[in-house]
Amino acid sequence: MSSSRRTPHPNKSVTGTRRAVAAGFLLPALVLLGALVVYPIGYSVQRSFFDKSGDSFAGLANYVELFTDDTILTAVKNNAIWVVFAPAVATALGLIFAVLTERVRWGTAFKLVVFMPMAISMLAAGIIFRLVYEQDPDRGVANAVWVGVHDTFAESSVFPKARPLPVHPLKGSGEGGYVTKNPVRAGEPARLPLVGVPPAQMPEDARPAAEPAPRPGGITGTAWLDFTRGGGGKPNVVDAQELGLKGLRVEAVKDGKVVASTTAGADGSFSLPAAADGALLRLPESNFREQYNGVHWLGPSLVTPAVIGSYVWMWAGFAMVLIAAGLAAVPRELLEAARVDGANEWQVFRRVTVPLLAPVLAVVLVTLMINVLKVFDLVFIIAPGSAQDDANVLALQLYRSSFGTDADLGVGSAIAVLLLLLVIPVMAFNIRRMRREARR
C-alpha cells in the first residue's frame, strides 16, 4: 500500500498552529509594546531635535548642550562614578557575604537581615539615610559614631565659648588662649574668671567655686564661671552661686617657657609650685577648642559617595542572594580537589570559586549597572538642595530639565536618548552572554 506525503496547510505554521491564531495571541503584547516602549522612544528621539517650545527644528543643539552645560556635565561625571563603583562594591560585598555565610550556622538569618533592605522602597531608604547623614551628632547616626571615635582619641574642650570680660585680669594671648595681664605672686590669690559658658553645659560634677588658702612659696588660685544665674554677683569676685571650671588647664609661663602647669579641680581651685612665682598664668588654646562636629557627609565633596553608600546598603543583599544561589550549584568535588592539591582557602576562592561563579557575577554586575543608570530617588531625597547640583545624575537632570521651573523638553528628551544609548551596550552584552550560555 503506497502512502502520499501530506503537504502542510498554507495558513498553518510548522507546528500546525494557524498563523491567524498566533497573531491574535501576539497582538495585545505587540500593541502594549508599541504603545509603552516603541512610541515613547520614537517620540523622545524626535522631540530631542526640536527647541524648547517644540515648534522649531534645533538639529543637534540639544545634544551639544549635554556636553557644554556644566550642570549636565556634572551629572555625566557622577553617572560614570556610579556605574564604576556602585555595582562593583555591591557585587563584591554580596560575594563576600555569600561565601562567609555558607559555613556558619546562622548564615540564613544573616542573609535575611542583609536582604531585608530590598523590601524597603527607594523613597523610604532615602528618608532613612537623610537622617543617618544629619550633621548634628545628636540626630545623625553616622556622625554620632564618627564623633564618638574621634573624641576617644582627641577629646574636645567643654569650654569652647569661654572668654574673659574686659574688666577681668585676663587678655588674649594671640594663640586662641588667654593670659593674665600681670604676673602672679606667691601668697596672693590668682583669680581666673571667665564667662560665655551656658550653665547647662558646665560639667555635671562642677561644684561652687572656692578660693584655696594661700600656700607659702607657691601659687594658689581659682578658675570659675564669673556669672550668677538670675543676676547679681560682682565681677572678679567668687560669689556663692558661681561654679568652678573643672578641668581647665593652667600654665605658668616665664620668658616664653612653661615652668609649671596644673588643672583646676571641681571647685575651680588650683595650685602651682614655687617656680610659678612671678610668672604669667596662661590658659592655653586647648581649653577652648571647638567641639568636633563630625563629617559633612552631604557636603559638595562627599555627597555622591554618601548616596552610593545608601545604594550599596540596599542592593548588596540582592547580589548576595543571587551569588549564594550560584555558589550552591558549584560542585564541591572541585573545591575539595583543590584543597587536596595543597591550595589554601584564599587560593581556592580566587582560582576556583570566583571563576565558577563568573556567569552569576556577570548577571549581578550587568543588572546593577543598568539599575544605577536609572537611579533618581536616592539622589533626589538624600542630597540637600545646596548640594543637589554636586550629586546630580542623568536621571535627576532628566526630571529637572523636563519638569523643573525652567523646563526644556528638548534637552530633557536628549538626556533620555543619551540614557538609552548608554543602556544599549550593557543590554547587548547581557544578550550575547545569555546566548553563549545557551549554546553550552
183-211: pLDDT as tens digits: 998 888 899 999 988 877 788 888 999 88
Question: Which residue is it, cell 562627599?
Answer: 302
Q: Distances from the Cα of 178 to the Cαs of 173, 175, 227, 249, 426, in angstroms?
A: 5, 8, 18, 11, 64
Lowest mean pLDDT among 58-67, 230-239, 369-378: 230-239
Question: Under a CB-based contact definition with an 8 Å cutoff, are residues 393 and 71 in contact?
Answer: no
d(CA 374, CA 38): 19
Length of the chain: 440
Tell me 140's DSSP state.
Answer: -
Band (pLDDT 50/70/90 cuts) for residue 386 is confident
If you average pLDDT over every residue of the chain, what do you get? 87
Contacts of 186 (CB under 8 A, 6+ apart): 215, 216, 217, 218, 219, 274, 277
Does residue 227 carry a pLDDT above 90? no
- Give percent of the chain above pLDDT 70: 95
Classify the C-alpha dihedral 350-355-361-362 as positive or negative: positive
